[in-house]
Amino acid sequence: MALKDDKEHWLNKKGEGVHPDLIRADEKIKDETVEKLLEKALDVSKTLKDFKLEAYADAEDYFSLLLQNYNLDAKSNSKKGNITLENFSGTQKIQLANVDRISFDEKLSIAKLKIDECLHELTEGSSPEIKTLITKAFEVDKKGDVNAKKILELKAYEISHPLWIEAMRIIDESIEIVGSKSYIRFYTRENVTDAWKQVPLDISGV
């Protein structure tokens, strides 16, 4: 419902009070529609959040039991890494993944200079496509951050030039772990010969 002042006038986007009788019927219907759908969206979001907590708890309880069966202390092995659980028939699967969020320190700039030197020496033999991909890898977003995935993809290029090899080593040294995020995904299939189909649940943000 729209915000109201002490006179029960509806507040518009400028913060001005408008008498309800002066508001068009379609505007009132739109206001009701937004309120109704948003209320349902918040309920769904809460349901997803509760399910996410339940799913993690159940999966971790099972893994803790597994640790006990192998005489391992659950507390000392709290960092479980990636886990895949399948049902007995191999038709349902749950994946829990811990993904590190990485950044790069100032040595990344040094690596870029080394790569520039390498490309300069290989000007005649290197393709324009590779030069473009490498240049784009170091582009920054609106926050001034590089795309970590694109930087790490550079390591897949089979370039044996000493400057390139040194640049890749410097990139490795520049990596910093700035946090991690956990994901849980659900998959199903009719039988073991079929491809897995992910259950469409976006619960990473709740």
Q: Above pLDDT 90, what percent of the chain?
A: 56
pLDDT surpasses 60 at 79: no
pLDDT digits (tens, 9 = 90+) for 100-144: 888 999 999 999 999 988 887 776 656 676 777 788 888 888 888
How confident is the model at residue 17, as a pLDDT? 95
Give the residue carrying structure tokens 């790069």: 104
140 - beta bridge partners? 146
The per-residue pLDDT for range 148-190, each reduced to its tens digit, is: 989 999 988 888 889 999 999 999 999 998 888 888 999 999 9
pTM: 0.65
DSSP, collapsed to helix, strand or coil, labels residue 186 as strand
Confidence class of residue 198 from pLDDT cuts 50, 70 and 90? very high
The overall average pLDDT reported for the chain is 88
Q: How confident is the model at residue 80 (pLDDT cuts 50, 70, 90)?
A: low
Q: Which residues of 160-177 are buried (b: 16+ CB within 10 A; e: fewer)?
A: ebebbebbbebbeebbee
Beta bridge partners of 98: 182
- The most confident of the ranges 48-57, 137-146, 195-204 is 48-57
